[in-house]
Amino acid sequence: MGEWLELQFADPQFHVGFLILIIAAMIFVLSKGADILVDEAIVLSTRWGVPKVMIGATIVSLGTTLPEAAVSVFAAIKGVSELALGNAVGSIICNSGLILGIAALIRPLPLDRNIVNRHGWIQLGAGLLLILGCLPYRSLGTVFETGGKFPQTIGFAFVVLLVLYLWLSVYWTRGIEDGDDDNISEQRQNNVITPLIKLFLGVTMVIISSQILIPAAQETAKRFGVPSSIIAATLVAFGTSLPELVTAVTASLKKQGELAVGNVIGANILNVLFVVGVSAAVTPGGLTAETFFFRMLFPVMLGVFVVFRVGAFISEKEFKRPFGVLLVLIYVAVTILSYKLSST
């Protein structure tokens, strides 16, 4: 299907406006498929007696990054590794800049010190490991001219770290007791066939939409003369980060700011360990880190992490609106500058 779609999208008579509409539609289908998959996985896990703490720390966390993972893994398999890495890093910048910034603008975000001190440092460490993994150690002096590579072996190592992180997440929440699940009806608990069918539907939606989204994004990049990594780090990354955006905005409006902060930090960690790790693990040649990553994306990623750490330290109990403004401005500036640089 992929090769046929590439030929259809490459036809000069296929208008670029339709390509953008296809990208938007596939991002919507991808997000809905991920929602269905997570919801039904929770139903089945509850039916089979899996503790809520474990569900929250594993299924829900992995589910919110499923759109990024699906796009990046399939892109890596298709040999478009720069799109895979661009989507992951771009999603981190979108989460930390735009999404966290908007949530803070709506209402100052209360800071849970356990999340900030534990997961916040893991987030920063994961970002540093990602950059270190991409560096060409035999030619460090030319990294800004030649770029680097994230090897398959380090991808496997990241998958091991992912398992360790998920175990730690469950371990740190071991003291939280499960409440009675009064919201799940007796019929849903006893009926396994319906959740399994919906689960299969969700998986199918994720796979098919990803297969269509990748060639559409590639062809759009060609039409505009923009590298695939920039399209992935901006347009595609924004689309695949919509679940985090909806969660963060809703949490902030409902005065549940801790949830917004925790969701963004957790998503960032999983974007590195889960999305990048699995994408590299399925790619024998590893993921290509173009010069754009070292000149722009990696420094910005670390920059928003540092702004968050400084903001959390200064704010003490709440992440204040001025830091939200700063994060949003960073995201907007990076997005505009990315396209400006690609046209020079």
Nearest by Cα to 229 from 336, 87, 111, 106: 87
Q: CB burial class (10 A; 0-12, 13-18, 19+) of residue 208? A: middle
| One-letter identity of residue 158 | F
Cα-based distances in Å from 340 to 99, 202, 230, 236, 333: 23, 37, 11, 18, 10
Q: What share of the chain is helix, strand, coil (3-state, %, to 5)?
A: 80, 5, 15
pTM comes to 0.80
DSSP 27: H
Residue that wins the pLDDT comparison between 47 and 98: 98
- Chain mean pLDDT for the chain: 82
Do residues 251 and 103 lie in contact, with contact meaning Cβ atoms separated by under 8 Å?
yes
Q: 18-23 contacts: CB < 8 A, separation 24 or more?
A: 19/216, 19/219, 19/220, 19/223, 20/220, 22/212, 22/213, 22/216, 23/213, 23/216, 23/217, 23/220, 23/235, 23/236, 23/239
Q: Identify the three-state secondary structure at position 102.
A: helix
Do residues 291 and 146 lie in contact, with contact meaning Cβ atoms separated by under 8 Å?
yes
Do residues 205 and 29 lie in contact, with contact meaning Cβ atoms separated by under 8 Å?
yes
Do residues 252 and 107 lie in contact, with contact meaning Cβ atoms separated by under 8 Å?
yes
Cα-based distances in Å from 231 to 103, 117, 214, 343: 25, 33, 11, 13
Domains held by the chain: number: 1
- Structural domain range at position 221: 2-176+184-342
**Tell me, what CATH number does 69's domain have?**
1.20.1420.30
pLDDT at 343: 62
pLDDT at 156: 97
Q: CB burial class (10 A; 0-12, 13-18, 19+) of residue 190? A: exposed
DSSP secondary structure of 240-273: HTHHHHHHHHHHHHTT-HHHHHHHHHHHHHHIII
Q: Identify the three-state secondary structure at position 279.
A: helix
- Comparing 81-85, 188-192, 194-198, 215-219, which segment has the lowest mean pLDDT? 188-192
Position 344 pLDDT exceeds 70: no
Query: Bridge-partner residues for 287, per DSSP?
Result: 150
- Tens of pLDDT, residue by residue over 64-99, are 788 888 889 988 988 888 889 999 999 999 999 999
Q: What angle (nearest 5°) sits at the alpha carbon of residue 241, between those of residues 316 and 14? A: 155
| One-letter identity of residue 94 | C
Give the integer Cα–Cα distance in Å for 328 and 224.
25
Residue that wins the pLDDT comparison between 209 and 1: 209
Q: What are the φ and ψ backbone dihedral angles of 199, each rounded to 5 degrees?
A: -60, -45
Give the integer Cα–Cα distance in Å for 281 and 159.
8
Q: Identify the three-state secondary structure at position 149.
A: strand
Give the integer Cα–Cα distance in Å for 344 and 10.
24
pLDDT at 274: 94
Q: H or E element: which one contains 148?
A: strand 148-150
- Comparing 53-57, 131-135, 150-154, 243-247, which segment has the lowest mean pLDDT? 53-57
Mean pLDDT of 173-191: 52
